[in-house]
């Protein structure tokens, strides 16, 4: 198997067996030595380069011959710097890279990804072999099993026939007995960004509908419902997104259902989601252009109530939620007939916050007490409180 260059390696080399996993407990070979050079200065700690580790891994094993083996993994950059690496799915006793995804993570950042492998048909009843998720610096492995399920005649059971006609329509055909399932997962974009549902819409045979032979049809439409017809069942999947909803996969295996996994992935989904994302970016302005400096009032408090003639103080935390540095006037606006009573100019970097205090000399109320609004206004955002002078 051709190996890639690691993004970051530290210490001695790490040995990986053909069917094994990463052994982080190896020791240096004899003769390996490190010579320290001391020039009289204190050694300085250096940043650890980007180092990608597999923090968790799960599969939908066992699968039938010819079915899709799905491997879900969580990757974490445990280094101090941002980096990019290929995350490979390595399969078999004679290991081969069967799927790969390029991943970029900031320091301490994690990402979930799915890698896939189309299983062949085993020579016997069952075949077991290792599958590994390899980041180049770390590897995690599991043994999976591929078998030929048998029907009542002792012949291989082909299972349901699954067809993805588009991103909005999919069908499952076959003979459905009590306990069989068929559920859809979706991906979509709303104004807030990407969202998804996992095995949210579907049927359990024997609970939602009676056993039958025919077709379960999944369609994206308004609202969600299950309707029975002459030739089968229709599951209406709600259009969850403002910019479109795609059926990303179907779950027909109870073992996959138990772990919220997908049995059959929709090959059209990736292209459809890319179109939804593009439309979302165009309409929301999140098309890669940096957002100008935008100052928001993250928190605000006062020393109300105060006595007539005393100093009303307003403490506020201001945050720049934009992508660029900027400067603004932060004003203290007082009264039902609002007027600016105090102001401070503030400069913040992108994502930076600052605490400030604004003040107002309260007058004497006409009666026992007087209440009125005070607001902290950045020009882009305002936060207000009602205060009382006694």
What is the structure's pLDDT at 249?
Answer: 94
Question: Distance between CA atoms of 154 and 290, rounded to whole angstroms?
Answer: 63
What is the structure's pLDDT at 14? 34
Confidence of residue 40 (pLDDT cuts 50, 70, 90): low
d(CA 295, CA 148): 61
Helix (H) or strand (E) holding 230: none
Helix (H) / strand (E) containing 295 = strand 295-302
Q: How many other C-beta atoms are found inside a 10 Å radius of the C-beta of residue 390?
A: 16
Q: Beta-carbon neighbour count of residue 223 at 10 Å?
A: 8
Has residue 324 got a pLDDT over 80?
yes
Q: What is the CA radius of gyration of the chain?
A: 30
Q: Which two tokens stand for residue 52?
A: 């990608």
Q: What pLDDT, on the 0 to 100 scale, is given for residue 37?
A: 46
pLDDT at 89 over 90: yes
pLDDT of amino acid 293 = 92
- For every residue of 144-186, DSSP letters joined together read EEEE--B-TTSSB----EEEE-SSSEEEEEEEE-TT-EEEEEE
Query: How many other CB atoms sit within 10 Å of the CB of residue 107?
Result: 16
- List C-alpha distances in Å: 233 to 208, 212, 367: 10, 9, 73
For 135-179, the pLDDT digits (tens) are: 999 998 888 888 755 444 444 455 688 999 999 999 999 999 999
Strand 245-251's sheet: what is its strand order? 193-204, 181-190, 245-251, 264-265
Q: Summarize pLDDT for 5-35 with one digit per residue, the tens.
A: 344 433 333 333 333 344 434 444 444 444 4
pTM: 0.40
| pLDDT greater than 70 at residue 42 | no
% the chain with pLDDT above 90: 55
Confidence band of 124 (pLDDT split at 50, 70, 90): low
Which range has the worst mean pLDDT, 277-291, 298-312, 358-372? Answer: 277-291
Which neighbouring-strand residues pair with 138?
none
187 and 198 in contact (C-beta within 8 Å)?
Answer: no
Strand ordering across the sheet containing 339-348:
339-348, 326-334, 370-377, 382-389
What pLDDT does 112 receive? 94
Listed in sequence order, the DSSP H helices in 53-149 are none
Question: What per-residue confidence (pLDDT) applies to 44?
Answer: 60
330-372 pLDDT, tens digit each: 999 998 899 999 999 999 999 999 999 999 998 888 888 898 8
Mean pLDDT, the chain, whole residue set: 84
Q: Are 88 and 54 in contact (CB under 8 A)?
A: no
Contacts of 282 (CB under 8 A, 6+ apart): none
């Amino acid at each position: 198997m051709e190996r890639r260059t690691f993004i970051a390696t530290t210490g001695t080399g790490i040995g990986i067996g053909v069917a094994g996993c990463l052994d982080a407990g190896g020791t240096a070979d004899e003769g390996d030595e490190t010579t320290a050079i001391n020039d009289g200065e204190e050694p300085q700690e250096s940043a650890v380069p980007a180092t990608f580790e597999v923090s968790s891994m799960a599969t939908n094993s066992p699968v039938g011959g010819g079915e899709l083996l799905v491997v879900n993994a969580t990757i974490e950059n445990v280094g101090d710097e941002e980096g990019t690496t290929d995350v490979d799915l390595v399969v078999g006793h004679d290991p081969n890279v069967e799927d790969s995804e390029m991943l970029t993570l900031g320091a301490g950042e994690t990402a979930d990804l799915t890698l896939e492998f189309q299983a062949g048909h085993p020579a016997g009843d069952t075949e077991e072999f290792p599958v590994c998720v390899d980041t180049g610096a770390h590897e995690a492995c599991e043994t999976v099993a591929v078998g030929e399920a048998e029907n009542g005649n002792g012949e291989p059971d082909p299972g349901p026939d699954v067809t993805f006609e588009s991103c909005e329509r999919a069908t499952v055909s076959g003979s459905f007995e009590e306990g069989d399932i068929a559920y859809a997962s979706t991906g979509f974009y709303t104004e807030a960004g990407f969202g998804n549902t996992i095995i949210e819409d579907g049927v359990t045979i024997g609970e939602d509908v009676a056993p039958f032979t025919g077709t379960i049809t999944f369609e994206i439409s308004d609202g969600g419902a299950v309707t029975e017809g002459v030739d089968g069942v229709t599951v209406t999947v709600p259009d969850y997104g403002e910019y479109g909803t795609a059926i990303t996969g179907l779950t027909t295996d109870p073992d996959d259902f138990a772990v919220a996994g997908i049995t059959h992935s929709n090959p059209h989904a990736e292209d459809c989601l890319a179109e939804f994302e593009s439309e979302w970016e165009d309409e929301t302005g999140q098309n890669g252009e940096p957002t100008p400096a935008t100052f928001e009032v993250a928190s605000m408090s006062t020393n109300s109530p105060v006595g007539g003639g005393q100093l009303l103080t307003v403490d506020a935390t201001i945050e720049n939620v934009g992508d660029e540095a900027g400067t603004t006037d932060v004003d203290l606006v007082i009264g039902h007939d609002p007027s600016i009573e105090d102001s401070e100019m503030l400069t913040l970097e992108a994502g930076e916050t600052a605490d400030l205090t604004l003040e107002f000399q309260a007058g004497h109320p006409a009666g026992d007490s007087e209440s009125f609004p005070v607001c902290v206004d950045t020009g882009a955002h305002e936060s207000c409180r009602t205060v009382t002078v006694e």
